[in-house]
Amino acid sequence: MRPIVSMTISRDGYSLGVARFRRLPPPVPLSVETLTKMLGKIPPEAHRSLLGENLYPLVEKHQPLMVAKITGMLLELDQTECLRLIESPEALKLAVEEAVKVLEDWIPKQSAEELRASFITAKAKM
């Protein structure tokens, strides 16, 4: 894998070193069984983060432009419902579609039209 950025860090003309940044592969969501076991072992305040890390790449496949907002909306659901969405691609698709509708209704009409246009543009690029 090639570096994204390679730069020499210097101060007053002296080289301090070279920083190289590599692109990481996208995270692979864990199975529901593995997630359930992990949720039992971590403190409750870390549950939302773990679920979000697993929902995010799944939501991104359906709605890359608003993935963070929609993932946050889905994390407001009950933990068992989040696990069901991770397990069921069809349930996740419906939940993402519903979240998009809620956002479109919430955004003023003109902004919603601009948002729809950007969704169409993004889908065309996929």
pTM of the model: 0.64
Which band of pLDDT confidence, cut at 50, 70 and 90, is reported for residue 2?
very low
Domains of the chain: residue spans and CATH? 26-125 (1.10.1900.10)
For the segment 21-80, what is each residue's pLDDT rounded down to a tens digit?
A: 555 555 666 888 999 999 999 999 999 999 999 999 999 999 999 999 999 999 999 999
How does 85-108 read in b/e, with b if 16+ C-beta sit within 10 Å?
bbeeeeebbebbeebbeebeeeee
CA 102, CA 86: separation in Å to the nearest integer?
A: 21
CA 112, CA 3: separation in Å to the nearest integer?
A: 38
Lowest-pLDDT choice from 8-12, 58-62, 92-96, 102-106: 8-12
